[in-house]
Amino acid sequence: MNVPLLDLAAQYRSLKDEVLPALQALFESQVFIMGPAVAQLEAKVAELSRARHGVGCASGTDALLLPLNALDLKPGDEVITSPFTFFATAGAIHNAGGTPVFVDIDAASFNIDPAAVEAAITPRTRAILPVHLYGQMAAMERLLPVAKRHGLPVLEDACQAIGARRRVDGTWRMAGELGWVTAYSFFPSKNLGGWGDGGMMVTSDDQTAERLRRLRLHGGAKQYHHDEVGTNSRLDTLQATVLLAKLPHLAAWSAKRREHAAYYTKALAGLAAVRTPPVEAGNEHIFHQYTLRVERRDELQAHLKAKQIGCAVYYPIPLHLQHCFAHLGYKAGRLPVSEQAAHEVLSLPVYPELTDDQLDYVCETIRGFYR
């Protein structure tokens, strides 16, 4: 049996009758730049996030970079973030002129440890950048008070967590609802993925929304009038059209992912060499990834691949140990929880279209490996 890590073609087959007519209409209109689909998607994603504004942009990377640019970082200004994330999180801090300050993660959730964040705050700290990794929100109920005490904005990297929610002080709060700005990615493999690159920022701060809209269009609210230097980072109308057609399915897809995750967790319980991902209490995880911690990880990965099961390591090298950040002076051993995770994690297929037979085959193959 073949179980790919992701099967976008299966999703395409189930959706093409909805998406293709919408694209056909766009082609007839030829309004490719900032067409009506962009504003419609912005409104819907803002609503989903319970935020006042959505501002589309070219990628999740830019959805982090533009708000960081809006902070007007000076050399030496620091942004505290997780080392256990996709590179873009820290790359954006660097490209905005800041210095990423990496602090360790919580071993169970893989998300940034709020106590470590507070301990890392210095007079040069300008923002806190938590990542809602794999689709589970970081501990916002602990991060927000830290940010408030120190007067720092929180930029949420929700590139993997659109539609996730968490109970904060007894109330369900959406990813994107509580931070200063939140970044989403519509990379094709995401729970809500386009047919190419795309991203969005959401915020409830009116002035920030206006600034982000300027920054994505060469810094000018009015054509040919440039208040500051921005860039070209629009959300492609073609992508917005695809995403608008897909958005009504997002909740059901994420529910299916949760179902698959629960299935794996139950089926793999009792294997001493495997730790399934705990969902923290008061979280609605969207399982962008279903990620185990396992013994003999690389051998298991090779075994699964030989049995035609897709799997992947997100992420093999924590960012504080990346060559490009060597000048920051982190050495191996400095952030041990992240480093251990990098040695142990393995993500399994969890896309909505997986069948029970495929799930059983994955579980049986893992059990067979450790027998």
Ligand X SMILES: Cc1ncc(COP(=O)(O)O)c(C=O)c1O
Residues that bind ligand X (CB under 6 A): 59-61, 85-86, 88-89, 131, 157, 159-160, 185, 187, 197, 199
CA 7 to chain centre: 19
Closest separation in Å from C-beta 17 to ligand X? 27
Nearer to ligand X, 46 or 57 (CB): 57
Q: Strand, coil or helix: what is 11?
A: helix
Q: For residue 50, how many other CB atoms are within 10 A of its CB?
A: 16
CB 166, min distance to ligand X, A: 17
CA-CA distance, 81 to 93, in Å (whole number)? 9
Nearer to ligand X, 320 or 369 (CB): 320
The DSSP annotation for 116-160 comes to: HHHHH--TTEEEEE-B-GGG----HHHHHHHHHHHT--BEEE-TT
Closer CB to ligand X, 159 or 268, in the complex: 159
Smallest distance from the beta carbon of 206 to ligand X, in angstroms?
A: 25
Where on the phi/psi map is residue 359: left (φ > 0), alpha (ψ -120 to 50), or beta?
alpha
Residue nearest to ligand X (CB): 60
Q: State which residue, 117 or 274, has the beta carbon closest to ligand X.
A: 117
E-state strands within the chain = 53-57, 78-81, 99-102, 125-129, 155-157, 165-168, 171-174, 181-185, 199-203, 274-275, 283-284, 290-294, 345-348
Min. distance of Cβ 254 from ligand X in angstroms? 16
247-252 own/partner pairs: CB under 8 Å, 24+ apart: 247/41, 247/44, 247/45, 247/48, 247/192, 249/15, 250/48, 250/162, 250/163, 250/191, 250/192, 251/163, 252/352
Q: By C-beta, is 62 or 284 nearer to ligand X?
A: 62
Q: Provide the minimum distance between the beta carbon of 48 and ligand X in the complex, in angstroms, as a whole number.
A: 18
185 φ/ψ angles, rounded to the nearest 5 degrees: -115, 140
Amino acid at 82: S
To the nearest whole angstrom, how small is the minimum distance from the Cβ of residue 288 to ligand X? 8
Q: How far is the CB of 93 from ligand X (least distance, A)?
A: 12
CB of 84 to ligand X, least distance (A): 10
> Closer to ligand X at the Cβ: 160 or 241?
160
Report the residue number, 221 or 324, with the smaller CB distance to ligand X: 324
Do 85 and 133 form a contact (C-beta atoms < 8 A)?
yes
Residue 63 three-state SS: helix
Of residues 35 and 60, the one with the C-beta less far from ligand X: 60
